[in-house]
Amino acid sequence: MTKPHPKGVLERGVTSDLWRHTLSQIPSCFGRMVYLSSLRAPNTGRYEHHGLAMMFGEGQADKALRKTHSEAFNEWLNYSLEQQKADLDLYLSAQQADKREVIENWAALMPYQYFLPASAREMERNLYIVDLEALLALLKNDYGVSSPDRDA
């Protein structure tokens, strides 16, 4: 009979697997936040990753993804505005979509609000939104985006 892994060992295993196979391939902190938020079910708030759930169980996968999302968010918040802009530029450079179109969409629909982890406190949420809006203004200027209205 095999002995169950201590809880801490299992958590490190899930997180290690996530970093080794997925997150290490995403060069920007912002990109990791986007990816992790995409794994959160909008109706339940639970993080779902089939591969991790198969290997470690749904509860452990959810816990590791939730924690990793929060850590990526905290890392982003601790960046200076200059570092955030460089990281955001790196994220945008890795996208297949036209940067100008992404910036127009962000200005109109504000999808970046969904990239926050649920654990973020109100003060952190406000700081994130203020920073993102300042960066968005800079990016709109850099890419000549003048109106958030696509039909304008």
Tens-digit pLDDT profile for residues 53-110: 998 899 999 999 999 999 999 999 999 999 999 999 999 999 999 999 999 999 999 9
The answer to whether residue 1 sits within a structural domain is no
* Number of domains present in the structure of the chain: 1
Other C-beta atoms lying within 10 Å of the C-beta of residue 50: 10
The answer to whether residue 124 sits within a structural domain is yes
The answer to whether residue 148 sits within a structural domain is no
Q: Which of 11-20, 21-30, 32-41 is predicted with the least confidence, judged by mean pLDDT?
A: 11-20
> Given a cut of 90, is residue 26 above it in pLDDT?
yes
The answer to whether residue 147 sits within a structural domain is no
Give the range of the structural domain holding residue 54, as residue numbers without chain letter: 8-142
